[in-house]
Structure 1
Amino acid sequence: MNHVLDVITFGEAMMMLVADQPGPLEQAMLFHKRTAGAETNVAIGLARLGLKVGWASRLGSDSMGRYLLDTMRKEGIDCSHVVCDASQRTGMQFKGRVTDGSDPPVEYHRKGSAASLMQPGDIDEAWLRGARHLHGTGVFPAISANCYQVARRTMEIMKDAGGTISFDPNLRPSLWASTDAMREGVNALAFLADWVFPGLEEGRLLTGLESPQDIARFYRNRGAAIVVVKLGAAGAYFDAAGQSGYVAGFPVEQVIDTVGAGDGFAAGVISALLEGKSLRAAVERGAWIGARAVQVLGDTEGLPTRQELGDR
């Protein structure tokens, strides 16, 4: 089949204002404008590596929506399935600065956003079936009940079409009614995916198991062909039919901003697998991009171009 796109993502993009100095958000006076969104971070990472990427979402027709749409288009992403609605508003967030390598404080303003109002009827099935791969995360389906249905339906369509699906749990407990609801909802989506990328603590919460090997086995036993458990600075553990092992983390001189590192990791693994590289090489690429991502301010500033990737 001659695919129009390599990868499609569905999800919310937000305008992000990042404080220029450390300290409580309420004391920050100057901010830098950036984009934010787990799915769009991955889309940008893949597009910079030369893949043909499509993104589906909803935005308001406000200045924030126009900024996001213009930014995504400049990255080379197909935004033909992004609806801009003058009656709706675009989500946004504030992010603080930290200097100790910890996760920065984040304040979201996304409730009732345009993206949260997406419906299964918004899915263009023919467009989705024209892609090789679908990437999803646990963020978009947590925004609203209808977004969960959109996420599930896109995965079902791609599975029926014979394409591959990757899924990053990317847990956001504050968006779920309870931990049990989050565990049940996220796992139901993960069980539809071919490639699952949990972080170690996420995997422990979702499975009740402790070791990377047991977490990987949990998802492999439920249909995943590949599971990669992210171990932070220690690297990652991977498991697939006939192969498993560890990849070491790459040295990081100074951690500037941890947000977006997992998305960069996902972009590295997905791009390499779609290029036909070995699983170990794919995880090594993911680890290298993740290490780059934590050394810069912003969610996507550390994502490399194909030239910067070199022969990885």
Structure 2
Amino acid sequence: MNCRRKAGAVMMLDLDVVALGDAMVSFSPKGYGRLEQARELDVSPTGAEANAAVALARLGLRVGWFSKLPEHPLSRLIVDAVRAHGVDVSRVVWAPEGRLGTLFYEKAVPPRPARVWYDRGGSAFTTLGAGEVDWGYVTSARVVLMAGTAPALSDGLKDLALRIAREAGRAGKLFALDVNYRAKLWSPVDAAEYLSTLLPLTGLLFCARRDADRVLGLRGALEAVARELSEKYGVPRVVVTMGADGSRAFADGVLYRHCPLPRVTPLDPVGAGDAFAAGFLYGYLTGGVQRGLDWGGALGALHYTLPGDFAYVNRAEVAEFLASGDPEIQR
């Protein structure tokens, strides 16, 4: 198979963050309907790393994102959507054939849970090899970001994620990983076994409290979980989140706290974790760990109020929220 990159800018860029991961098209019934009721579906791009890349670019950082996608109109929909927010997509690898991952998402309100069905096995991204990666591009960024969903997809991606982490470390760059566990992609046992090899190569770890419990067997207060993750796996910077109930970071031996946010009324939680990671990275790169927690919590909270996976929020709006937290109409 002869894969290629689209013609266009190929010069080395001075980037803050490069994100690597799969991307999919999400299909959802209108409103809060069920799939079996649907006669038309909303179509939108999604993917943890793409979501984070878009959020980071909207905050003003220089961001690149790449993946491997089949030549297909819906693949172009994804890439065009990511590019529209200012993300560099020049290193996307295009395969002349192959599958594009999809998911079907039913939004819901309690007591009915939201549900996701994946159809992403054997996607073009699962065949991405080391020879298709522009290593100079990857290691030119200050941060290389991946989610744990990528190595869950294939053995080849497990090997590739390890190499990316090693190459970033050798280049003196920060490899950031969001555990982002998905039970429909791999078992807790398989995930824990693999993560035991990847986490020691990780410079910054994002982990939801439920994932620390379910996958890594770590329970207790957020502070204790963050510290234990750092000490057990040798990760110098660990961020443990619990949604609107706040987050903790244990970084270079120091504990940082972010309190629960008031007045968070979730409209759609999908993508909020990716928004938190993006907000944290922005804050961390511009002011350190505490600023990272503050910006991560604020961006995640604002994303809760929006439909879809992309965080249509800008830097001024996050700063305004942090300064006042005033939910009244801005006139």
Residue 103 and residue 244 in structure 1: after superposition, are their counterparts in 2 closer, same or farther (change >3 A)?
farther
Q: What is the alpha-carbon distance in structure 1 between the residues aligned to residue 288 and residue 210 of structure 2? A: 26
TM-score (norm 1): 0.93
* 3-state SS of paired residue (1:8): strand
Q: CA RMSD in A?
A: 1.9
Q: What is the alpha-carbon distance in structure 1 between the residues aligned to residue 264 and residue 211 of structure 2? A: 26
Q: What is the alpha-carbon distance in structure 2 between the residues aligned to residue 110 and residue 72 of structure 1? A: 19
Partner residue in 1 for 2:217: 208
Q: What is the alpha-carbon distance in structure 2 between the residues aligned to residue 280 and residue 103 of structure 1? A: 33
Partner residue in 2 for 1:91: 101
Letter in 1 for 2:17: V
Counting aligned pairs with the same residue, the percent is 32
Would you say the 8 A contact 1:123–1:150 is kept in 2? no
Partner residue of 1:181 out of 190, 201, 209:
190
Moved more, 256-265 or 199-208: 199-208
Q: Is 1:32 equivalent to 2:32 in the alignment?
A: no
Residue 284 and residue 303 in structure 1: after superposition, are their counterparts in 2 closer, same or farther (change >3 A)?
farther
Residue 247 and residue 175 in structure 1: after superposition, are their counterparts in 2 closer, same or farther (change >3 A)?
same
Q: What is the alpha-carbon distance in structure 2 between the residues aligned to residue 151 and residue 102 of structure 1? A: 36
Moved more, 248-257 or 104-113: 248-257
What is the 5 A alignment of 1:158-307?
158-176=168-186, 178-211=187-220, 212-221=222-231, 222-275=233-286, 277-300=287-310, 302-307=311-316
Letter in 2 for 1:94: F
Would you say the 8 A contact 2:26–2:45 is kept in 1? yes
Residue 103 and residue 228 in structure 1: after superposition, are their counterparts in 2 closer, same or farther (change >3 A)?
farther
Moved more, 91-100 or 150-159: 91-100
TM-score (norm 2): 0.87
* 3-state SS of paired residue (1:143): coil
Letter in 2 for 1:119: G
Partner residue in 1 for 2:317: 308
Shift of 1:113: 1.1
Partner residue in 1 for 2:164: 154
Q: Is 1:123 equivalent to 2:152 in the alignment?
A: no
Shift of 1:100: 2.8
Residue 101 and residue 158 in structure 1: after superposition, are their counterparts in 2 closer, same or farther (change >3 A)?
farther
Shift of 1:243: 2.6
Partner residue in 1 for 2:116: 106
Shift of 1:193: 1.2
Q: What is the alpha-carbon distance in structure 2 between the residues aligned to residue 3 and residue 102 of structure 1? A: 46
**Runs of 4+ residues over 4 Å off in structure 1:** none
Partner residue in 2 for 1:138: 148
Shift of 1:245: 3.7
Q: Which runs of 5+ in 1 are unaligned?
A: none
Letter in 2 for 1:191: P
Cα offsets for 1:96-130 (capped at 9, x unmatched): 12123875211112111111111122221111121
Moved more, 96-105 or 44-53: 96-105
Partner residue in 2 for 1:53: 63
Q: Which runs of 5+ in 2 are unaligned?
A: 1-11, 323-331
Shift of 1:67: 0.5
Q: What is the alpha-carbon distance in structure 1 between the residues aligned to residue 111 and residue 167 of structure 2? A: 40
Partner residue in 2 for 1:44: 54
Would you say the 8 A contact 1:187–1:206 is kept in 2? no
Letter in 2 for 1:247: H
* 3-state SS of paired residue (2:67): strand
* 3-state SS of paired residue (2:283): helix
* 3-state SS of paired residue (1:33): strand
* 3-state SS of paired residue (1:307): helix
* 3-state SS of paired residue (1:298): coil
